[in-house]
Each structure stands twice: as structure tokens, then as C-alpha cells.
């Protein structure tokens, strides 16, 4: 009874089948740091960050939730439970016929503990839609009178449990024989909507059709009933039917990418180069950090003075730090700077403006053009690359062509760094940005 996901829609450049997979994966733990390392969804963490940002903006996930039931919003649950594959009605009817044959065989020859008494069909197959996502069934069972005597039911249960695969937990073994008899060795994907028992059908209070009745010899084809005979109508305990959320492209320009996503949302803000980009890069490398007001400072040997000013939300303002504690435990080469980002939407272009300031080193050491500074420039380019990717995906989905311009303001850096920083950042940005990902947009540096 879930929603159907249209094939042609995309979110952040991902097809809805991938988005569904992503939401189901997030729902398992609710931890962002695990989500960003899912290699099956995207080849790079930058693309995962763009997807995560889209899920947040569309309110499909709730990062503040504290329980499994709340990690996904109702809109997110609708996508996660949605159906991405549609099958012809004829295929569904064939699968349904095979199911009825197995049930008849199990009732006659399987010696089950419970006999299938009635099978109720509802949903899209009952309505005769041309294509269906799955087959909605309620399968009612009753105790087999052959095992009604004292001790015979327990004996037969033990026999069936012994036949179940050893790897199954005990409670799964109790129902293994029944499920095998009804659904076969492998349940067909179209039978995902088939359930043993009719409680849900009764609570739904939807139209249904009796298609199997053991007391009348098996197969039947009754008229469609407004609801199950024992149903009192839709239960107040049943949540409202899920509806497909609005998947139309968002018209507004995305905000800057949260810097924490690019660091896998680690508590200390460390940037791990693995899977940061599709191709392996040396800059930014080990020892790079993106720090915000929420960063765990206990993991840092050196904290820049500028962090005390606060206001580091990771979006408009972030503190970038480089300190390789393995090769430089005393922090003689450590350095940091503050990055501010704004994005402006004009008629023919989107401007990404970055402002660099508050360069800092431990013990007031003098600024210099060295390896730590190039890693700082690499982190700036890394975040700008993420912003460009996100802007490009949004433009592509809206089918709009605009120039993406980059404006780097380094006027508040020390004299020794002011002229070189924009040159290094633009060089690294050209190296990191994937031309294949730009599609209909162009990047133009602005001095």
C-alpha cells in the first residue's frame, strides 16, 4: 500500500531508487558519520554530502531525533517505503496464481500446523491497474485439526523446527515451515505486500476481495467487499495513508554546503581524505580539520585563538585548521584561518564569494607560505568544490543555464599570504572540480 516512486525524478542528481536506499540506510542508525561512508550510494563523500544536504532541505530526515521511529519524517518514510519497480498486471496475476497453487499443495500434503483458510486480495491488483508495485494480500490461517490432540501439536512443532536452517534464530524457525509452504523457498518481490493474518486489513477498512476459501474448496472469486467482514472501518490507530511528497525541483539557490559533511561529521572535525573525491588527492590531507562551535576540543592539541569568537556554524562561517600531530606533535607548523561563504543569485549567474581572515599559528609564529598553508587552501577549495557541485545539480534539475562565478577575498590575510592564497585556491579548485559534473554550468573565477 506504499507510494509509487516516479522513474524520471531525481534529487541532488540521484535517482529515487538511490534516495530510497539512502533513507533506509540512514534509518538503521540515524548517525550522519555512518551515512557518509556508504560506498554503494556514491563514489565520493562530496556527492554523499550533497545528497545529505538535499535530504535535510526537503525535511526527509530529522538529525535531532533520538529514536529509530523518528529518524525519518513522514515524507522520508513515504520515499523509503515507496516502490521503484512496476510490473504488468499479467505478471502479478501469474505470481498470485502460483501462490494459490502452493497454498493448496501445503494444505493437502504439507502437514502444516496451521491451514490457510482464506486469502483476501486488496490494493492495485484487485483494482486491475495496468501496472502494480506489489500484491497486497491478507492470509488467514487456523489450527490444523490433525494436530489437535494432546501433545501432537508440540511434537509436530518440534519436527518442523528441526527442519529449519540452523542459522535462523529459534523464533524464526517456528514460522519457517509455514512461510516456505506459502511463499516458496524465495519470496517473489511482488509478494512483499502479502502478510499472514488479517489484522492490518481489518484496521485499514479498505475494499477487498476473497479469492481463496478452504471451506468452499479453495479458489473463489467473490465480489469486491467494501471492507473485511470483521472490520469496523478504518482504525484511529492506523496512520494516514502515505502520500508522495513534493519532488519538484526547489527553485531557490542552495545555501553553502555545511563543512561538517565534508569531514564525515566527525566529532573533532578531522577531514579523512579517503573517498573525499572520486580520484585520490594529496591536498587536503591528513591533519586537516573543519571546526565549528560544536567541535570536540578535547581531541585537539592546539585550538586557534579565533575559535573563541564563536559563531562558527559550519555554513556561513567555519574555522579551518591544519595540524599533523604525527609528524609535528608540538605544532610548530600548525596553522588556521577563518572562512566565510555567501552565495548570491543573479539573473545570469550565481556568485560564490569566500572571505579569508584571522590567520593564526601557535605561539604567534610568523605566517609563511608552507605545506600547512597549502592544505588550508586545499580545504577552502574542497568546500568550494562541494558548493559548486550542489549548485550545478540544482541548476540541472531546474534545467537552467547560469554561469557560476567565484570571488575570493583575501584582503584580511597577512601580507605574506594575501596575493598567493587566491592563486593557490583557484589552482586547487580547477584540479578538484570534475568537469563532467558541471554539465550545463560554467565556472568563472572573479578577481
Domain boundaries, the chain: 10-80, 87-219, 259-446
Contact 292, 312 (CB under 8 A): yes
- Assess contact for 258 and 55: CB atoms under 8 A: no
Tell me the C-alpha to C-alpha distance, in Å, between residue 154 and each of 147, 150, 432.
9, 8, 67
CB 426 within 8 A of CB 408: yes
Radius of gyration for the chain, computed over Cα atoms and rounded to the nearest angstrom: 29
Longest dimension (CA), the chain: 94
Pairing of strands 114-122, 14-15: unpaired
Cα gap 72→68, rounded to integer Å: 8
Q: Which fold has domain 87-219?
A: Beta Polymerase; domain 2 (3.30.460)
Mean pLDDT of 66-71: 85
Task: Tell whether the model's pLDDT for residue 335 goes beyond 90.
Answer: yes
The pLDDT confidence band at residue 2, using thresholds 50, 70 and 90, is: low
**Residue 3 pLDDT > 90:** no
pTM of the model: 0.73
Residues in the chain: 447
- Where are the alpha helices (H) located in 146-235, listed in sequence order? 152-163, 170-183, 199-204
What value, to the nearest 5°, has the Cα angle with vertex 393 and ends 390 and 396?
150
DSSP 337-358: EEEEEEEEE-SSEEEEEEEEEE
> Mind giving me the DSSP string for 404-415?
EEEEEE-TTS-H
First-to-final CA distance of the chain = 56
Instruction: Name the one residue in this structure whose C-alpha cell is 569568537.
Output: 309
Does the structure show a pLDDT above 50 at 441?
no
pLDDT value, residue 81? 84
CA distance 265 to 29: 14
Q: Is the pLDDT of residue 375 over 60?
A: yes
Burial of 316 per CB tally in 10 Å (0-12, 13-18, 19+): middle
Say yes or no to pLDDT of 205 above 60: yes
Contact 267, 38 (CB under 8 A): no
How many Å apart are CA 96 and CA 88, to the nearest integer?
13
pLDDT for residue 242: 77
pLDDT band at 337 (very low <50, low <70, confident <90, very high): very high
pLDDT at 48 over 80: yes
Distance CA 38, CA 42 (A): 7
**Grid coordinates belonging to 304:** 586557534
Average pLDDT, the chain: 90
Residue position matching grid coordinates 605544532: 331
Amino acid at each position: 500500500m506504499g507510494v509509487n516512486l516516479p522513474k524520471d525524478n531525481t534529487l541532488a542528481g540521484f535517482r529515487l531508487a538511490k534516495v530510497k536506499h539512502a533513507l533506509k540506510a540512514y534509518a538503521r542508525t540515524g548517525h550522519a558519520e555512518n551515512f557518509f561512508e556508504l560506498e554503494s550510494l556514491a563514489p565520493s563523500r562530496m556527492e554523499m554530502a550533497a545528497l545529505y544536504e538535499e535530504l535535510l532541505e526537503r525535511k526527509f530526515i530529522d538529525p535531532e531525533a533520538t529514536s529509530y521511529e523518528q529518524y525519518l519524517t513522514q515524507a522520508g518514510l513515504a520515499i523509503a517505503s515507496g516502490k521503484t519497480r512496476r510490473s504488468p498486471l499479467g505478471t502479478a496475476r501469474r505470481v498470485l496464481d502460483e501462490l494459490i497453487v502452493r497454498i493448496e499443495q501445503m494444505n493437502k500434503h504439507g502437514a502444516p500446523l496451521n491451514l490457510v483458510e482464506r486469502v483476501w486480495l486488496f490494493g492495485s491488483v484487485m483494482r486491475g491497474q495496468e501496472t502494480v508495485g506489489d500484491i497486497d494480500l491478507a492470509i488467514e490461517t487456523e489450527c490444523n485439526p490433525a494436530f489437535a490432540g494432546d501433545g501432537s501439536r508440540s511434537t509436530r512443532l518440534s519436527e518442523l523446527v528441526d527442519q529449519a536452517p540452523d542459522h535462523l534464530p529459534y523464533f524464526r524457525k517456528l514460522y519457517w515451515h509455514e512461510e516456505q509452504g506459502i511463499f516458496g523457498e524465495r519470496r517473489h518481490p511482488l509478494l512483499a505486500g502479502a502478510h499472514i493474518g488479517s489484522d492490518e486489513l481489518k484496521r485499514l477498512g479498505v475494499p477487498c476481495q476473497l479469492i481463496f476459501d478452504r471451506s468452499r474448496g479453495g479458489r473463489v472469486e467473490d465480489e469486491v467487499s467494501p471492507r473485511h467482514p470483521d472490520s469496523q472501518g478504518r482504525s484511529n490507530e492506523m496512520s494516514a495513508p502515505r502520500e508522495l511528497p513534493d519532488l519538484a525541483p526547489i527553485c531557490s539557490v542552495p545555501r553553502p554546503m555545511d563543512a561538517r559533511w565534508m569531514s564525515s561529521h566527525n566529532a573533532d572535525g578531522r577531514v579523512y581524505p579517503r573517498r573525499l573525491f572520486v580520484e585520490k588527492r594529496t591536498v587536503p590531507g591528513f591533519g586537516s580539520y573543519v571546526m565549528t562551535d560544536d567541535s570536540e576540543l578535547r581531541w585537539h592539541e592546539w585550538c586557534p585563538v579565533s575559535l573563541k569568537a564563536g559563531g562558527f556554524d559550519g555554513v556561513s562561517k567555519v574555522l579551518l585548521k591544519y595540524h599533523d600531530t604525527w609528524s609535528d606533535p608540538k605544532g610548530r607548523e600548525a596553522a588556521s584561518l577563518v572562512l566565510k561563504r555567501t552565495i548570491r543569485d543573479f539573473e545570469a549567474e550565481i556568485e560564490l564569494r569566500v572571505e579569508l581572515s584571522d590567520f593564526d599559528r601557535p605561539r604567534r609564529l610568523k605566517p609563511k607560505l608552507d605545506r600547512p598553508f597549502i592544505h588550508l587552501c586545499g580545504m577552502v577549495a574542497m568546500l568550494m568544490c562541494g558548493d559548486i557541485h550542489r549548485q550545478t545539480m540544482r541548476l540541472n534539475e531546474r534545467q537552467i543555464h547560469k554561469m557560476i562565478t567565484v570571488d575570493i577575498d583575501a584582503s584580511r590575510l597577512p601580507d605574506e599570504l594575501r596575493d598567493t592564497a587566491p592563486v593557490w585556491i583557484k589552482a586547487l579548485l580547477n584540479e578538484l572540480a570534475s568537469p563532467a559534473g558541471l554539465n550545463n554550468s560554467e565556472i568563472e573565477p572573479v578577481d
